Amino acid sequence: MQAAAFYIAYPFIWLIARLPFAVIYALSDVVYFILYYIIGYRKKVIASNIKIAFPGLNAQQVVALSKKSTRHFCDIFVEMIKSTGISRGEVQKRFVCDNVDEINAFAKAGQPIVLMLAHQASYEWTIALDDFLDFRTYVVYKPIKNPHFDQYIREVRSKFGSDLVPMKKAYNIIRASRNSDEAGLYALVADQAPKPSSAQFFTKFFDQVTPVFMGGERMAHQYGMPVYYLQVEKVRRGYYKAHFDKITLDASKEPEWLVTDSFFQKLEDQIRKQPEYYLWSHKRWKTKPQDVKRAVELSPRVHQ
């Protein structure tokens, strides 16, 4: 059944990926109309999250922001499909970075680093970084249950040189590369919400006690690595600008929670500037510490 679903969908994916951008974004507009006005895709979740994050907005403003966010989500969806057929030159023109030399200095010094990403602006076209960076890049990701779609995602996201590493194998890969004195860049999307069954760590995000993963911080602390946050700004439709924002030069010398809390504070600051480009459709604040049937660890920010 999984194979059938993939082989039915793939011809359409292949065709869409080869359409010009004008047609791609016209298709995005159609998908947006269907999702928002006909299906009502996660309307209540999106509106609820926006109300929590921005309690000062009135009902009309919440609806307007929900529409803009859903429209951007549709753009990201078609851009992900377009990634199948996009050229190096095209993606480099549409996704630029203004301080690559700062990061490449670590590669020249043989120093591996951790790069924390978020679901803000563009997270699909970060594949462009492969051509800017002097590192061997490892992208830590959660495999998709359908193995055929998982293989497709792996091929798309590694087409310019990245190595995709399943979350459960990340530490083994880091250990192996460290033993070989390889300077690797380890990138991971760090704003995902843990399932209630695996939630353990909580910090403050938009003044809400929020379950988080601490894998990026733990990884960097164990191996004494610098940590940067990749801030991505949407310039206009189909064009993005990235900036490497330093969190620490050595995570092993920092107090616990500094890396994770700094990441979420930087992300919150960025979202407040461009709230329509964040992925509001996840149930970010569903799980509370009292819902977790295990000992939880709270960031010092929770008590502030």
pLDDT tens profile 232-251: 999 999 999 999 999 999 99
pTM: 0.94
Instruction: Tell me phi and psi for residue 250, to 5 degrees.
Output: -155, 100
Pairing of strands 113-117, 184-189: parallel
Under a CB-based contact definition with an 8 Å cutoff, are residues 284 and 210 in contact? yes
pLDDT above 70: percentage of residues in the chain: 99
Between residues 195 and 249, the one the model is more confident about: 249
**9-13, 168-172, 251-255, 256-260: which range is least confident on average?**
168-172
Q: Which residues contact 171 (CB under 8 A, 6 or more apart)?
A: 219
Question: Is the pLDDT assigned to residue 205 strictly greater than 80?
Answer: yes
Per-residue pLDDT at 275: 98
Question: Is the pLDDT assigned to residue 52 strictly greater than 80?
Answer: yes
Mean pLDDT of 274-285: 95
Question: Is the pLDDT assigned to residue 69 strictly greater than 90?
Answer: yes
Domain count, the chain: 1
Mean pLDDT of 71-92: 93
Between residues 4 and 268, the one the model is more confident about: 268
Read off the pLDDT of residues 119-168 as tens digits, 9 standing for 90 and up.
999 988 888 888 889 998 998 888 888 888 888 888 878 777 788 888 88
Q: Which domain holds residue 207?
A: 2-303
Question: Is the pLDDT assigned to residue 85 strictly greater than 90?
Answer: no
Label residue 208 by pLDDT band (50, 70, 90): very high
Mean pLDDT of 192-211: 93
Per-residue pLDDT at 60: 98
CB atoms within 10 A of CB 114: 28
Label residue 183 by pLDDT band (50, 70, 90): confident
Per-residue pLDDT at 124: 85
The C-alpha atoms of residue 202 and residue 257 are separated, in whole angstroms, by 10
Label residue 2 by pLDDT band (50, 70, 90): confident
Q: How far does the chain reach from its first CA to its final CA, in angstroms?
A: 50
> What ranges in the chain are assigned the alpha helix state H?
2-17, 21-33, 43-53, 59-82, 88-94, 100-108, 129-132, 147-157, 170-179, 215-222, 258-273
